[in-house]
Structure 1
């Protein structure tokens, strides 16, 4: 939870910095790609930590959803 929260704060900060840097002229050419890369890395980290948490803490629900996803179960009809 701590890592997810810190990544959320980092994402918000990088997003804000990128949006504020967009209209400015005279910034070095590496500024926007660096901020975009940080934004993407934070987004991937947020997705990864949330999916790992969900799969770790809600295993029974995932298994039951997978079993009911196919009508009639996974058995062959014939």
Structure 2
């Protein structure tokens, strides 16, 4: 749904201020997202936990559900 995708992007931007990363590009797919970012403060794991937990909390509340939303841990590659 469009509102869910907009909320995910909003969450990424909100967490950007807290974790101090720079977003260079993103591609929101049907069932996952690609993000190119540079970390300035926290490590990648903490930034991804913040994004995932924040969005998961909102999504579970909206759809009256419990449990994990994302199947696997994020994948990262050094460019």
TM-score band w.r.t. shorter chain: 0.3 to 0.5
- Write 1 or 2 for the structure with the bigger share of helix: 1
TM-score, length-normalised on structure 2? 0.36
- Write 1 or 2 for the structure with the bigger share of strand: 2
Whichever of the two has the greater Rg, that structure is: 1
